[in-house]
Chains A and B, each alone.
Chain A
Amino acid sequence: MAEQTHEQWLEELATDSRRKQEAFMNDIAHKLKRPRVLEKPVHPFRGAPDFWQEYEWTLEERTQRFTANFHSNGGHVSHLSTMDEAKQFIKEKATELGARYIIRQNQPELAEMKLEEALPNVSLSVWNSNENENWKARAAEADFGVVVADYAAAYTSSIAVLSGKDKGRSVSLLPTVLIVIIPLERLKTKLGEILIPLDEAGRESLPAGIHFISGPSRSSDIENDLTIGVHGPGVVYALLVG
């Protein structure tokens, strides 16, 4: 008998799955005692209540609330005026904490910073900048991961990072310390301002990973005692720039 390839195996499963899908949906309709719903139903309660849709803070309030919320989650926040100040901040932290390996996203804002020149004694790698590297391993060994946020929401102090060729999910996850630069114009009031556009963008434009980060990794699983840095970064610096 010829060896079945992985693709053939997957195809077999897919055929099975499609058949089962029909049965599954028909069973649901049958149990709901009505015919199958094939047209998009009217959803009168989509999303947050109306009063919430209009809720908005001024930039100053957003900055204050983000800072307060992120602090109470155990994170650190610095408000800086320019990217140059952010570069200074990273340089000082790297020296202070003795960072030897840093990984950064391959984002233009970070390239312009020229961190490599500022930190000659640090091994700095740029995510997915060549094909033959084991990038997950590079992120896992890093002391610092440096990323620029796509968005942030002040109400819950959540930073949104979207994955892509130049933006690894590992960079905000595997290093011991995470440094996130948030350009102030990307700081929104509430989550909905980031989530609703994802609906508008549609399935085909979504990246594989959309991650909201609201502070350092934590757990209270041992006797309710708060532990920081269980699996993800235990130290998170949010740099509000602008």
Chain B
Amino acid sequence: MSAPTGTKVPPTVKGRADLALNDEFLRKAVKFTTERLRNGKHAATAEHGNWEEWRERGRQIRLHTIAHLDYYLNLFADNARANGVHVHFASTAAEAVKVSLAIAKQVKAKSVVKSKSMVTEELHLNHALEGLGIEAIETDLGEYIIQLAGETPSHIIIPAIHKNRFQIAELLSKEAGETLEADTTILAGFVRKKLREKFLEADIGMTGCNFAIAETGSMVLFENEGNARMVTTVPKTQITLMGMERIIPSWSDLEVMATLLPRSATGQKLTMYMSGITGPRRDVDADGPDEMHIIIVDNGRSNQLGDPEFQELLNCIRCGACLNACPVYRHIGGHAYGGTYSGPIGAVLTPALQKNVGDWDDIANASSLCGACYEACPVKIPLHEMLIYLRRRKQEGGHRDLAEAGGMKGFSAIMGNSGRFKGVVKLGKLGQRLVSRNGEIRLKLGPLKGWNSYRVTPSLPKQSFRDKWGTLEEELRHGLNELSPDARSRMEQLVRSREQDGGGHGHG
């Protein structure tokens, strides 16, 4: 079972992964869902065609925008303001929370309906709102479920991937005050009715932002349920929290993002709804928010700028394709990563945003560096390489394992000198007689424990490659000197015929 609220969460990736690996439902559900999404992506990209060219175009647009972020972000802010939006800048999570709470207090909000926003997860905004006695309601079906459970999302696209319908029925029954059958239609029907009331009475609608269009100051949301449309249509005040890197220059560029994002996330040609919001409602309009705020959040993002190894992290369009492709994520699920963002992108983004490489070092190691994340990424972020950079920085930052460092030093001393190497191998051959059976060592003690828990160490052979080298070398030299008479005459024949031809066409 996944950890309910209040249960102690293990401090290491390994501990959290062990929890996940013990939960059979979680493991199966994550595997099933990620495979479904991955297959959907494969089918959608194959059907669309020229996928590599689209990826490259997406990468170029993101690279260009981030390289000129001061220009485009400034343009966006000016245009959004001209549209009547109240724009705010927050360097830190604390500042973003402060502005959000100030707005909520000013409009005397009693409740906030929220559509999915990873930034608000970063800020732990719900908690802050509740501190003021303001009800914050997640309205994405999956987010609503995990909010009731007091948990955090375990997948960026399917947040409640780790819950089965019986757990969900139990949670929703408690909310309903009556027993609801564990039937998807009934459960979703209850949520529709319940949240409909919440939408209509809420004072503030709060959203994230998939893309912000610099040239017109518009913000764009992709979704399937319609809750983001609710949140931006019904309440009087809208607050949008956006990462400072969400910018694209134009609607023309949105066509490329709209091609890449849904196909990579769920294999859809387009999400059921794509909404471009340009300012609050016009005076003559009868719906849409009276007042609209956009809070532009840094919270560690700008630290990647000018860093040749990590700047491309800002190109991420939050599709989750790298999670679905990652063999490690598919086994341990999202909670094992311990941060807001999980999977390969989370493994790099979390330490990069927080600038505390040392504390998160084990995440960089929870990867086989197979590069599946890079292959899956619609904007070609080299995540597998970034994981190596992280590991290197961890070493350089002094966050190293002393035993490992000592081991490496010893290894270098032995390997650097053939006499020492020979001596150690000899010792090993003597020593292994105690533990080797049929050419295998299965001892799970000392330095062999880690390896032999899941594998078998082969014993050292009686005669090693080095022992055989003298004979091998002898054979090779001998063989080369003495060409067989047959081969020799064949080759001589060849040379003669070539000379007769005048040597015109050597490349037959």
CB distance from A234 to the nearest CB of B (A): 9
Residues of A within 8 A of B226 (CB): 173, 217, 230-233
Q: Is the CB of A136 within 8 A of B287?
A: yes
Residues of A within 8 A of B79 (CB): 203
CB distance from A221 to the nearest CB of B (A): 3
B271 interface residue per 8 A CB criterion:
yes
Q: Is the CB of B29 within 8 A of A210?
A: no
Q: Is the CB of B269 within 8 A of A214?
A: yes
Within B83-97, which residues are at the interface with A (CB < 8 Å)? 83, 86-89, 91
One digit per residue, 1 when the CB lies within 8 angstroms of any chain A CB and 0 when it does not, for chain B 249-275 equals 111111110110000000001111111
Residues of B within 8 A of A25 (CB): 70, 73-74
Complex Cα–Cα for A164 and B83 (A): 15
One digit per residue, 1 when the CB lies within 8 angstroms of any chain B CB and 0 when it does not, for chain A 26-62 equals 1111011100111111011111110110000000000
Within A205-242, which residues are at the interface with B (CB < 8 Å)? 206-225, 227, 229-233
Residues of A within 8 A of B141 (CB): 219, 221-222, 227, 230
Number of interface residues of B (CB under 8 A): 101
Q: Is the CB of B256 within 8 A of A47?
A: yes
Within B415-459, which residues are at the interface with A (CB < 8 Å)? none
CB distance from A7 to the nearest CB of B (A): 11
CB < 8 Å neighbour of B83 from A26, A203, A218: A203
Complex Cα–Cα for A139 and B287 (A): 10
Stretch at the interface among B211-219, B364-372, B392-400: B211-219
Q: Is the CB of A192 within 8 A of B255?
A: yes
A97 interface residue per 8 A CB criterion:
no
Contact size range, A: 35 or more
Complex Cα–Cα for A38 and B67 (A): 13
Residues of B within 8 A of A1 (CB): none
Complex Cα–Cα for A227 and B270 (A): 17
Residues of B within 8 A of A198 (CB): 216, 251, 276
CB < 8 Å neighbour of A32 from B50, B69, B233: B69
Residues of A within 8 A of B269 (CB): 69, 155-157, 214
Cβ-closest chain A residue relative to B71: A37
Residues of A within 8 A of B61 (CB): 45-46
Q: Is the CB of A216 within 8 A of B272?
A: yes
Q: Is the CB of B253 within 8 A of A232?
A: no
Q: Is the CB of A211 within 8 A of B229?
A: yes
Contacts A164-B285, A219-B225, A223-B164: A48 and B252 contacting too (C-beta < 8 A)?
yes
Q: Is the CB of B251 within 8 A of A232?
A: no
Residues of A within 8 A of B77 (CB): 21
Complex Cα–Cα for A28 and B286 (A): 39
Q: Is the CB of A206 within 8 A of B278?
A: yes
Q: Is the CB of A210 within 8 A of B145?
A: no
CB < 8 Å neighbour of A29 from B70, B142, B287: B70
Cβ-closest chain B residue relative to A202: B216
Q: Is the CB of A196 within 8 A of B251?
A: yes
Nearest 4 CB-CB pairings of A with B:
A232-B226, A47-B252, A221-B142, A165-B284
Q: A27-B302, A227-B188 are in contact. List 8 more A-B contacts (CB 8 A).
A: A13-B86, A24-B298, A32-B70, A48-B57, A163-B287, A170-B234, A170-B287, A195-B255
Binding site for A on B (CB under 8 A): 29, 32-33, 36, 50, 53-54, 57, 60-61, 64, 67-71, 73-74, 77, 79, 81-83, 86-89, 91, 99, 102, 106, 139-142, 145, 158-160, 164-165, 168, 184-185, 187-188, 191-192, 195-196, 199-200, 215-218, 224-227, 229-230, 232-234, 244, 249-256, 258-259, 269-282, 284-288, 296, 298, 302-303, 305-306
Binding site for B on A (CB under 8 A): 6, 9-10, 13-14, 16-17, 20-21, 23-29, 31-33, 36-41, 43-49, 51-52, 69, 73, 127-128, 135-137, 139-140, 155-158, 163-165, 168-170, 173, 190-192, 195-196, 198-199, 202-203, 206-225, 227, 229-233
CB-defined A-B contacts under 8 Å, sample of 19: A21-B74, A28-B70, A28-B305, A31-B303, A47-B252, A49-B50, A49-B57, A164-B282, A173-B233, A207-B282, A208-B282, A209-B233, A214-B273, A215-B272, A217-B226, A219-B142, A221-B142, A222-B187, A230-B226
